[in-house]
Amino acid sequence: MILLVSSCSKDDSNGSQDSLTDKQNSCLPFIENNTLLQDISIIPVDPSTTIVSHRQEGDCLILDTRFGGGCEEHLLQLVIDVDNMDALNLSQSLFAILSHDNTDQCEAIIAYELEVDISKLKELEQDELSLIIDGYSELITIIF
């Protein structure tokens, strides 16, 4: 099974518990797609798009990204391969690709927080998961 997740809307939280709950609810749900990683060449990837850092807030994984542009809207999505979900054990990691079809010719550097709803990964029934995103040097540990 492949899960495709897209960015979530930002909110102006003040750090309260209600704001954290609102933030979790603002993350968009997974879009399931079983064919994307079978033909990896159909996933649009902008090689200049980078992930600078990450953090987890509740059921949201937040990726701090940078990319060129400024003249058009951008859609960043995280494609996660969860084919091995039944065989998942502590030595295995999930693999992901940051999808970004960047045809924006403007030269500004955009800083964007991509917020991904990771609550569906709870179905793997693990307290802790490792996620490797292609092109990102850090191993992401997701804790439920």
Report whether pLDDT(17) > 50: no
Q: Give the H or E element holding residue 97.
A: strand 94-100
32 vs 101 pLDDT, higher one: 101
DSSP conformational letter for 110: E
* Distance, CA of 104 to CA of 31 (rounded, Å): 25
Query: How far is it, in rounded angstroms, from Cα 46 to Cα 68?
Result: 10
- List of residues 6+ apart from 112 with CB closer than 8 A: 7, 64, 65, 66, 67, 74, 76
Quote the pLDDT of residue 83.
66
Q: Which domains does the chain have, with CATH numbers?
A: 2-143 (2.60.40.2370)
CA max distance for the chain: 45
Sign for the pseudo-dihedral over CA of 60, 76, 84, 134? negative
Distance CA(2)–CA(100), nearest Å, equals: 17
* Strand, helix or coil for residue 7: coil
- pTM score: 0.77
Q: What is the pLDDT of residue 29?
A: 55
SS3 74: coil
pLDDT tens string 87-143: 555 457 888 889 899 999 998 999 999 999 999 888 888 888 899 899 999 999 999
